[in-house]
Amino acid sequence: MPEVIHADGTIHHDEWVVVPRPEDGESLAIPKDQPAMIPADLWLAGYEHFTGNDRIGVWFDSHDEPEIIADKVNELLLIGVNFPRFVDGRGYTIARLLRERFGYRNELRAIGDVLLDQLQFMKRCGFDSYVLRADKDISQAPKCLNFFSQGYQAATDTDLPLFRRRAG
């Protein structure tokens, strides 16, 4: 079972499984014995079937638009955002939109090609938990979450840039 690191630096076993998008002609294979994240558009398409099930979360790929579930985001206990490659920054935007525009209050998780040096930036964009790429050492993650003591820009963790915080 993989491990997940939370924004407070604690490491836990990850009980959630990411269900991949089915190929054409295949059906969605949701495990019965584990909580599962399914593609957001498929959750929306089967909304009547999935509503109220707290063992179902969703995940967005980097090209997906979070607006599709804007009025339903807080019905979900977990939303994952996939980073298909570490150079693809669209997941940061998805996180900010979910937090700031759509008011998502529950757990937001970074999945996919997640590297140690991205963790603090992901945290500032609103992510609560992270599943590192398999070849990365999760024991290094807690220090990476708080490598810098201050951020210059406003973000989800502070609405004032550093020069405004120091002026007071």
- Using left for φ > 0, alpha for ψ between -120 and 50, and beta otherwise, residue 103 falls in left
**Domain-wise residue ranges, the chain:** 3-167
Contact in structure between 82 and 59 (CB atoms under 8 Å) = yes
Write the pLDDT tens digit of every residue in 23-71. 988 989 999 999 999 999 999 999 999 988 999 999 999 999 999 999 9
**What single string gives the DSSP state of each residue in 37-92?**
EEEHHHHHHTHHHHTT-TTEEEEE-TT--GGGGGGGGGG-SEEEEEESSTT-THHH
pLDDT tens for each residue of the chain, 168 residues long: 689 999 999 999 999 999 999 998 898 999 999 999 999 999 999 999 998 899 999 999 999 999 999 999 999 999 999 999 878 889 999 999 999 999 999 999 999 999 998 998 899 899 999 999 999 999 898 887 775 545 445 455 555 554 555 665
